[in-house]
Amino acid sequence: MRTNLAAVLAAATAAVTLVAATVATGGPLASQAAFVAVGLILPALGLLLALRRPDVPYGRLLLAAAVCFGVGLSGVALADVAPGLARAALAAMAVFYGLSWVYVPLLFPEGRLPSRRWRPVAWLAGVAIALHAAGNLTVSFLPGRPIDVHGPVQWAGVFASAAGQFTVWVLGHVVFAGLVLRWWRSRPPERAQYGWMAAGAAANQIGIVLGYLFLSGGQAPAVGLVGMLAVLGALPGAIVVAVARHHLLDIRIGLRGSRLLLVFDVRPTVGEVLSGLAPDLEDSREPVEQLGRLAEAVRTGLETRWAAVTLADGRRVVSGAEDGPAALTLPVRGGQGRLECGPRVSGRLTREDRRFLEALAVPAGLAIQSAGLATRLVNAQEAERRRIERNIHDGVQQQLVALIAGIELARATGGGAATLAGLREQARQTLADLRELAAGIHPSALSQGGLVEAVEERCARLPVPVHVHAGRDLRAERFPDEVEGAMYFTVSEAVANALKHAAAARIEVRLSRDDGRLGVTVGDDGAGFEARPGVLGTLTDRLTALGGGLRVDSERGKGTRVHAWVPVDG
């Protein structure tokens, strides 16, 4: 909606300027063409900035100035046809002068005040412009024509217009001095941008003097016309040079292909970067590759020589050639890592670049968290595989070796009934150990009877009373294997910890389903401990991967409560 309005305003202003300039200037065709060509720079430039950088209000400021100029110029053209309408239009010309003298250089380049100290200047300029415009509404100030004043209202208008115009003229010099100071203190490429704006502001002020001295007085009208062209085109021309040569507001102008088509490019916004980054992260299944895509997005978005994503554990992924210290470093929320980038390919990093990186810090934190979670899950799976391997090697495997050796010995010696009975008991024990091992991987009761039945069977073999509470509807309901497995092993480990470490005499397990969540709470009356982050980290990662979570509440002497939940459909 905003971009459509900008396009309509620019087109209307260009049309009005074209017609009004032809009528108002008169004179040779060459002077008319020059006036029209210069007059069209401002709306075109305002439209470019408004379309390519809608987040920056400076383009809308230039469009407002262009609209005021077009309306004011139409007042000059209507002077002989509709004097009253011409006076109203000339009030808009007063606004154009005020915007050009004060606000266009003051708010350069982002449409914001350089600091709070400039607020009085901005407010005073607004009042002065209003006085100038109000005075023009009462009296006709047309170039080359006498001012016809009748009555106290028009005399008040004359004084208001003169006071407002003089105040704006003084403030314009104050702003020019501040612009020169900003140029002096800045560094490349901002220094060159401020330099061109300062040159444009100086040419604008000189053009005002030439216009009043030569055009209004009727002497050397050609010089006066040059002055008015400077008033109209100096500032927009300076901005065009700053865009074309020094990439003002990160806008690039280049040529594409053999058709010599102008291309206006701009650094992508955070939203555009995230839109392009999301499918890349989704396609990248390896955590390191995801972090690499993120670092590359930072590097290309800020146009730096290199960018890096560093995790809290010291792991680091770099995009580009890291050839020096970081020019900008920003921690990721939650203390999970940081984003770093080197110097820009051209120029230096600005406050806008820091805001860009801060906006990327949120999705960066999510990507780092995802990478860390995936790494922890892989490590947990590897640790579980090694645990099963160790249990098989140290337990069941040794029992099977002993059983085979016993069978061979019985065959060789002709063992009697007592020997065979011992071997049979040994085989039964091995079978029981195998079942226990299988239950640690995925209990058969969980596959056959569901979560509640598997939890009850697990808790029935414990040396302390364990009470399992679950609703009747929950007993008959089945959930995905990964959900049931995660909840079962949460109960199993929580109960085992209560027996091993808490010296609990009573344990209570509650299973529930509420508001789309399957939850479990394991509580005991044991010794308790000081809960800290990272307790039951493997289980937490497993539940987090399913979209759930885990919380441990415990105090010394008051037992422990383990709360876990996962989302379920329906």
Confidence (pLDDT) at 87: 73
118-127, 134-143, 254-263, 528-537 — which is least confidently predicted? 254-263
**pLDDT beyond 80 at 115:** yes
- Any alpha helices (H) in 334-450, and if so which ranges? 351-391, 397-413, 417-441, 444-448
**pLDDT beyond 60 at 142:** no
What 3 state SS string does 460-506 have?
HCCCCCEEEECCHHHHHCCCCHHHHHHHHHHHHHHHHHHHHCCCCCC
The pLDDT tens digits of the residues spanning 382-404 come to: 566 666 665 565 455 555 655 66
Q: Please give the residue that has the higher pLDDT: either 323 or 378.
A: 323
Q: How confident is the model at residue 273 (pLDDT cuts 50, 70, 90)?
A: low
Angle value at C-alpha 205, between 200 and 207, nearest 5 degrees: 90
**pLDDT beyond 60 at 257:** no
Distances (CA, A) of 160 to 163, 167, 169: 5, 10, 14
Q: How confident is the model at residue 469 (pLDDT cuts 50, 70, 90)?
A: very high
Q: What DSSP string runs through 245-289? A: HH-GGGEEEEEETTTTEEEEEEPPPHHHHHHHHHHHHHH--SHHH
**pLDDT beyond 50 at 231:** yes
- How far is CA 322 from its chain centroid? 24
**pLDDT beyond 80 at 223:** no
Confidence (pLDDT) at 143: 53
Determine the average pLDDT of the residues in 360-385. 64
What is the pLDDT of the chain when averaged over all its residues?
Answer: 76
A 10 A CB-CB count for 238 gives 26
Confidence (pLDDT) at 268: 63
536 half-sphere exposure, CB direction, 13 A CA radius = 27
What are the backbone dihedrals phi and psi of residue 281, each rounded to the nearest 5 degrees, phi first?
-65, -35
Q: Which helix (H) or strand (E) holds 194?
A: helix 190-210
Q: Please give the residue that has the higher pLDDT: either 313 or 205.
A: 205
The pLDDT tens digits of the residues spanning 8-51 come to: 766 777 676 666 666 555 555 555 666 677 778 888 888 888 87
Q: Is 335 exposed, middle or buried (0-12, 13-18, 19+ CB in 10 A)?
A: exposed
Candidates 206, 199, 207; CA nearest to 227 is: 207
Contact between residue 75 and residue 88 where contact means Cβ atoms under 8 Å apart: yes
pTM of the full structure: 0.52
Confidence (pLDDT) at 375: 59
Determine the average pLDDT of the residues in 221-225. 67
Q: What is the largest CA-CA distance in the chain?
A: 141
Q: Which residues of 491-521 are buried (b: 16+ CB within 10 A; e: fewer)?
A: bbebbebbbeebebeebbbebebeeeebbbb
Confidence (pLDDT) at 129: 93
Confidence (pLDDT) at 221: 63
Q: How confident is the model at residue 78 (pLDDT cuts 50, 70, 90)?
A: low
Report strand pairing: 517-524 vs 507-514: antiparallel
- d(CA 560, CA 552) in angstroms, rounded, equals 7
Confidence (pLDDT) at 262: 56
Which residue in the block uniquely carries the two structure tokens 């009005």?
16
Q: How confident is the model at residue 408 (pLDDT cuts 50, 70, 90)?
A: low
**pLDDT beyond 90 at 110:** no
Determine the average pLDDT of the residues in 281-310. 75
Determine the average pLDDT of the residues in 359-373. 66
SS3 552: strand
List the CATH code of the domain at 450-567: 3.30.565.10
Is the CATH number of domain 270-374 3.30.450.40?
Answer: yes
Determine the average pLDDT of the residues in 441-448. 67
- d(CA 115, CA 124) in angstroms, rounded, equals 16
The pLDDT tens digits of the residues spanning 160-216 come to: 888 998 999 899 999 999 999 988 888 776 788 888 999 988 988 888 777 766 655
Ranges of each domain in the chain? 2-265, 270-374, 379-439, 450-567
Confidence (pLDDT) at 187: 75
